[in-house]
Amino acid sequence: MNAIFGIILTISLGLICFLSPDKALSAMLAGGEKALYLSLKMVVIYAVWMGVFALMEKSGISNKFAKLLKPINKFLFGRVPNKANDFMSLNISANVLGMSGATTPMGIKSIEELEKHPDTEYAIAMFFVINATSVQLIPSSVLALRTSLNSSSPADIILPTILATSLSTIIGVLLVKIFLKKRKKKCQFT
């Protein structure tokens, strides 16, 4: 992240010095402002979802649910600690169902939980790639936008989207399995 941030920022700032120096600060502040609006919006969305998740955790639904997904998780991530497995299952199912507000809090919790244990680097990388390549099956925001613009068949794009998003996730998973596998170590969690 540091390398990418550094490179893009240096080139952008260098260019802006020559082309439009007056825009530099205002662009940066505009970025900060957008971040503020987004976080405010996020507090509300997270509050609702995390309230529901607390109920799921306390009542034991999340645990039961995670057990159902365990075979898939095992194939993807190898062995992971149980608590992390719970969060990861919720994150991935929220992703698939397109509940975008729910994915982030569960994603952060999954990573925090994974980090508490040694030798989870492979699982973290795989988990990141699956989240970053998107596994959302119904592109609800695109559908809503198309419908509002009077598309003659807004749902036309569902099948191609499912195919394309599956392809990106499969490629991502394969690449992680090929390139990062050597770092994967056998290790037992209780």
Partner 1 sequence: MSIYLIPVLFFLIFVYSLFKKVKPYETFTLGAKEAVPFAVSIFPYLVSIFVLTELFEASGLSAIIERIVSPFFSLLGIPKELTKLVLIKPFSGSGSLAVLSDIYQKFGVDSYLARSASVIYGSSETVFYVASVYFAGAKTKKLTAPIIISLVASFFSCVFACFICRII
Looking only at residues 20 through 49 of this chain, which bind partner 1 when binding is defined by CB under 8 A?
Answer: 20, 23-24, 27-28, 30-32, 34-36, 38-40, 42-44, 46-48
Nearest to 97 by CA among 137, 62, 141, 143: 137
* Binders in 109-168 for partner 1, by CB under 8 A: 111-112, 115, 121, 124-125, 128-129, 131-134, 136, 138-142, 145-146, 149-153, 156-157, 159-161, 163-165, 167-168
* Binders in 57-86 for partner 1, by CB under 8 A: 58-61
Distance (Å) of CA 78 to CA 29, 71, 94, 144, 169: 43, 10, 21, 37, 17
Closest CB to partner 1 among 73 and 90?
Answer: 90
Closest CB to partner 1 among 73 and 113?
Answer: 113
One residue of 96, 97, 119, 189 binding partner 1 per CB under 8 A? 97
> Is-contact 119 185, C-beta < 8 A?
yes
Q: For residues 4 and 10, what is the distance between their CA atoms, to the nearest angstrom?
A: 10
Angle CA(66)–CA(69)–CA(73) in degrees, nearest 5? 105
One residue of 69, 117, 180, 184 binding partner 1 per CB under 8 A? 180
Closest CB to partner 1 among 70 and 179?
Answer: 179
Q: For residues 115 and 133, what is the distance between their CA atoms, to the nearest angstrom?
A: 21
